[in-house]
Structure 1
Amino acid sequence: METREKILRAAAEMLAEDMAAKLSVRAVAARAGVSTGSLRFHFPTQRALQDSLLARIYAHLLPGDPIRDRTLPPRERLLNCLRQVLAPLGTNEDARTAWGTMYRTFIEPEPTEAVRTAYLGHEREAERRVEHWLTVLEEEGALPPGDHTRNVRFLLTVLNGLSVERALPTGGSVLVAETETLNAAVDHVLSTRPAPPAGPARP
């Protein structure tokens, strides 16, 4: 257990220094001062390492993490997680301020390497957060095992679109339309199944 903790601590330090870090087995092992074989013993795959680290991070940062509230069904928990992301944007004025900051920070400036690196750090953190939600649901059997990359990207695209809508002028209730969109997004993700294997190639 001491070796496992050293590995998780090293991976957490790497993320703290660079949110875009890929956490390769070799790099984390070197940082932890253990062999790659030892790391593989505790974490057979890179994803196993990332999943364990994310669970540790979010258990610490979000002790009331909605995805772990098993008094609610998986669908409601995923909905609550998405709402939790949008909640800080508040009303139209707050959303406009948030998007104004985003524009001035990442869109208006020339796309230098520093700007790109800063944005990718934010993007990677968002991806890790959504990946954490889907991994928890997978562990419970609410989602099939497999790569969640497509669904992570889909949910982040939905959240980005809804956050822009909050900042734009509208004649109707943003929250009503937003709720409908979130429900549709969650239904889509929870109905996703792995693609069937390709059949034999035809001559």
Structure 2
Amino acid sequence: MVERETGTSSRDRILRAAMAMFAENPRARLSVRAVAARAGVSTGSFRYHFPTQRALQDAVLVGVYDAVAPDDRIHDRAAPARDRLIDCLRQVLALAGVGDQARAGWGEIFTAYIEPEPTEDKRAEYLALDREAQRRVEYWLTVLSAEGALAEGDNQRRARFLVTVLNGLSIARALPSEDSILAAETETLHAAVDHVLGSES
């Protein structure tokens, strides 16, 4: 379905409206009525393109990530697979920031998802974020598998392991440390990626 006045599809208008609302407040609930009103479409049109709120949340997160990192280094075959995967994981960590920025980010996560009893909406919101992180890492592993740089195996399980490592490293960025955060982080990323790629070095 195409909106005549703009020439864009109603699905695209819904996504743009939802992404704008997400950018204004990442913790805001993307309600059907609010997003449909902002997009200038009916709730029926909204439900046609996004039958569930989770479907919309997933699409918004994919769009946000693709806008932030449109050219994943994972496709740069001039570099070794190990280096590319580490660089991609570092991109995720860069979003967490360091020091005050990392503390503020984890403070928001604690306030939104840990401290209060989780509502269904909050649970769905967090799980959408978690699924997007898992999806992106799994995608990187799929690219490496297709190249033959990664042995056949359960990329979903491997991605879950790497996401868990990233979560731990991002928390470490928010905590006081006696040693160099960068050195410890680099050592941990290398160990995790070597484990996943099945190499000893």
Is TM more than 0.5 here? yes
* Counterpart secondary structure, 1:169: coil
Cα RMSD of the aligned pairs, angstroms, is 2.6
Q: Which of 76, 98, 101 is equivalent to 2:105?
A: 98
Gap runs ≥5 in structure 2: 1-11, 16-48
Q: Which of 53, 56, 66 is equivalent to 1:17?
A: 56
* Counterpart secondary structure, 2:148: coil
Distance 2:75 2:68 in 1: 13
Offset at residue 65 of structure 1 (A) = 0.7
Offset at residue 63 of structure 1 (A) = 3.1
Distance 1:175 1:118 in 2: 31
Offset at residue 113 of structure 1 (A) = 0.9
* Counterpart secondary structure, 2:58: coil
Q: Aligned pair in 2 of structure 1 residues 71, 134: CA closer, same or farther (>3 Å)?
A: same
**How many residues are paired up?**
148
Gap runs ≥5 in structure 1: 1-8, 21-53, 193-203
Amino acid at match of 2:120: E
* Cα pair 1:131 1:152 within 8 Å, conserved: yes
* Cα pair 1:58 1:65 within 8 Å, conserved: no
Does residue 119 (structure 1) correspond to residue 126 (structure 2)? The answer is yes
Q: Aligned pair in 2 of structure 1 residues 121, 175: CA closer, same or farther (>3 Å)?
A: same
* Cα pair 2:81 2:144 within 8 Å, conserved: yes
Offset at residue 111 of structure 1 (A) = 1.4
Distance 1:104 1:64 in 2: 33
What TM-score, normalized by structure 1, do the two folds share? 0.66
* Corresponding position of 2:196: 189
What TM-score, normalized by structure 2, do the two folds share? 0.66
Distance 1:105 1:155 in 2: 24
Offset at residue 66 of structure 1 (A) = 1.1
Amino acid at match of 1:153: R
Distance 1:181 1:86 in 2: 13
Q: Aligned pair in 2 of structure 1 residues 60, 90: CA closer, same or farther (>3 Å)?
A: closer
* Corresponding position of 1:132: 139
Offset at residue 147 of structure 1 (A) = 2.6
Pick which of 156-165 and 105-114 moved more.
105-114
* Corresponding position of 2:167: 160
Deviations 1:180-201 (A, max 9, x none): 0000000000008xxxxxxxxx
Q: Which of 170, 178, 185 is equivalent to 1:171?
A: 178
* Counterpart secondary structure, 1:19: helix
Amino acid at match of 2:181: V
Deviations 1:83-113 (A, max 9, x none): 1101122221111011001111111121111
* Counterpart secondary structure, 2:154: coil
Distance 2:190 2:87 in 1: 11
Q: Aligned pair in 2 of structure 1 residues 58, 171: CA closer, same or farther (>3 Å)?
A: closer
Identical positions, percent? 55
